[in-house]
Chains A and B, each alone.
Chain A
Amino acid sequence: MKQNSIAGGAADLDPARNVQDSPDVSPSPVRDAILRQFQEVAASQGKAIKPLTDDLVLLNSGLDSLCFAIIVAELEDTLGIDPFSSAEEVYFPVTFGDFISFYENAAG
């Protein structure tokens, strides 16, 4: 099981590094695009976000509904997929890990 890194050290302040350090997370183009989008939207909306670990509850990440709406729209533009509208079984992701797998599954 993945360790919750919130209690970790200074390395956790850098989400990208944090994710790369996690042994059980395999990098993928979809994951990279999502990570980048979270960072960009947080910066443009002036929000401080917590380290993006797979077990982070999205609504506790520091981003609000508007931020998630923008992230989903940007990902539709950059990746060409909107799993909320195209997936056969729609569900609303609770954690960051849910969010990633929702998109990875939709990307096939």
Chain B
Amino acid sequence: MTWLRGTLAASSGHGEARLFGAAQAIALADLATRTGLAEGLAELAGLAVLVRTQSQIGAAQALVELDGVARRIVLCPPDLADDYLPTVIETAGIKAIVTDIPEAENGLDRYGLPVYRLGEPTAPVALFPDQARATEWLMFTSGTTGVPKMVIHTLKGLTGAIKPRAEGAPVVVWGTFYDIRRYGGLQILLRALTGGASMVLSDAGEPVADFLTRLGERGVTNLSGTPSHWRRALMTPELTRIDPGYVRLSGEIADQAVLDSLRAFFPKAAVGHAYASTEAGVGFEVNDGLEGFPAAYVGQAGAEVEMKVVDGSLRIRSHRAASGYAGQDSALADAEGYVDTGDMVELRGDRYHFTGRRGGIINVGGLKVHPEEVEAVINRHPAVRMSRVSGRRNPITGALVTAEIVRADPEQRASDGDLKASILHSCRQALAAYKVPASVRFVDSLAVTAGGKLDRQHA
């Protein structure tokens, strides 16, 4: 049985590897052999534990402390609202909370559960069980509205795509623009911890320029982020402070422009993009510098990751996928074990290209927008009959929200400008900025399918 502390102890025995936050650093060797929970660690054995931390470095420490010890870890992303915690606690059967937030500020005692506060890892760990528990890792999916869904992973599945570090391979320093409490960022943390490598973690609200400066000071060699993260970095003068050997993109469609820009900016670096999702796990990596992926990846029976395309969407089967949703009967995979990613692909020549999300979900710089949510706000406007919201390609954020609107009274032609301003005003009142349509067009009618639904195929 592999567990995180055991793996870390085996990999960190040599060298000075650390996790670097903005104000704090922890040596991997200390993480492996010491605890910041004192006697609390033994009390957490076998429990379902909520990890609610302020800092990324606190989350990383909690994961090392709890894997192999707790029955279940629920890793809260930084933007999870307090309002959802009671539901999360109930759904996941949480029995204790681990946090790095000072007691006076955390407000976590209101849930009637024991709260354990992480300290510096100073006390030697006596706990090295021969048979560590196969802890469940619950992660939040990013594609939902309302109460967020959690999927169940294990360390084995989460590290399934990580190759062991070759003997004598050069020392690497990892960094990511992601938060490690999200799937894409966790992948990078696990690469660092299992490989005994340093990693630079961003602080909450840290400006990109400052983070890039710290990455440069620590000599980052391998850096990951979404295409939107990278586009923002490319617009930051401090990008010249880093000289990575490996640049990785994931989480959104990597278009040729961003791949080419990165290759031009870092001529010595390998630039690769990876496909992964919180539900399906890590699918594949593409390292030939081109957008999309080779068609040959699909249909390889018996491969570690098997893929097929059904009705235009990519389906993935592998041991890296989550085993299911927490507290829900709805299956994550089909009868054959394939997870439908909802990512639509199109075959052009000998490559598949990603064309967007099924159901018209729009990805604005990594933030997902459901067209129905925006349409509902627009349709509340008294001068609107109906509307259709869709995505419009954008070189900065990948996509932007755009709306087509049918007026309630077709005779009223007076002023498109005034009506547009009025509709956008109500959208801004009700929606986050990235959900507000960036452009609006008035149309005479919108197509409806035979089933009576708004036709989104031709949006």
Contacts and interface: CB of A to CB of B under 8 A. Distances in A.
B259 to A, nearest CB: 10
A38 interface: no
Contact of B395 (A66, A74, A84): A84
B365 A69 contact: yes
A59 interface: yes
B232 A82 contact: no
B261 interface: yes
A94 B235 contact: yes
B264 interface: yes
A65 B236 contact: no
Interface string B430-449: 00011000110000000000
Interface in B212-233: 228, 231-232
19 contacts: A57-B236, A59-B209, A59-B232, A65-B232, A66-B397, A66-B434, A69-B396, A69-B400, A70-B438, A73-B439, A74-B438, A77-B439, A84-B257, A85-B395, A89-B264, A90-B261, A91-B261, A92-B235, A94-B237
Interface of A: 44-45, 57-59, 65-66, 68-70, 72-74, 77, 82, 84-85, 89-94
B364 interface: yes
Contacts of B364: 66, 69
B106 interface: no
Contact of A58 (B228, B235, B265, B434): B235
B261 A65 contact: no
Contacts of A82: 395
B260 interface: yes
B234 interface: yes
Given A57-B237, A59-B236, A82-B395, A70 B365 contact: no
Contacts of B434: 66
A58 to B, nearest CB: 6
Chain B, interface size category, equals 20 to 34
Given A73-B439, A94-B234, 11 more contacts: A59-B209, A59-B235, A59-B236, A66-B433, A69-B365, A73-B394, A74-B438, A85-B257, A90-B261, A91-B265, A92-B231
B260 A90 contact: yes
B392 interface: yes
Contacts of B26: none
Contacts of B433: 45, 66
Sort A-B residue pairs by CB-CB distance and give the 3 closest, nearest first: A84-B395, A92-B234, A69-B396
Nearest to B228: A65
B208 interface: yes
B395 A65 contact: no
A68 to B, nearest CB: 5
A2 to B, nearest CB: 17
Interface string B246-280: 00000000000100110011000000000000000
A48 to B, nearest CB: 15
B394 A72 contact: yes
Interface string B145-160: 0000000000000000
B434 to A, nearest CB: 6
Most buried by A among B235, B236, B393: B235
Contacts of A68: 235, 396
Given A59-B232, A65-B228, A65-B232, A73 B261 contact: no
B393 to A, nearest CB: 8
B231 A65 contact: yes
Contacts of B396: 65, 68-69, 72, 84
Contacts of A70: 400, 438
Contact of B365 (A45, A66, A77, A90): A66
A40 to B, nearest CB: 12
A65 B365 contact: yes
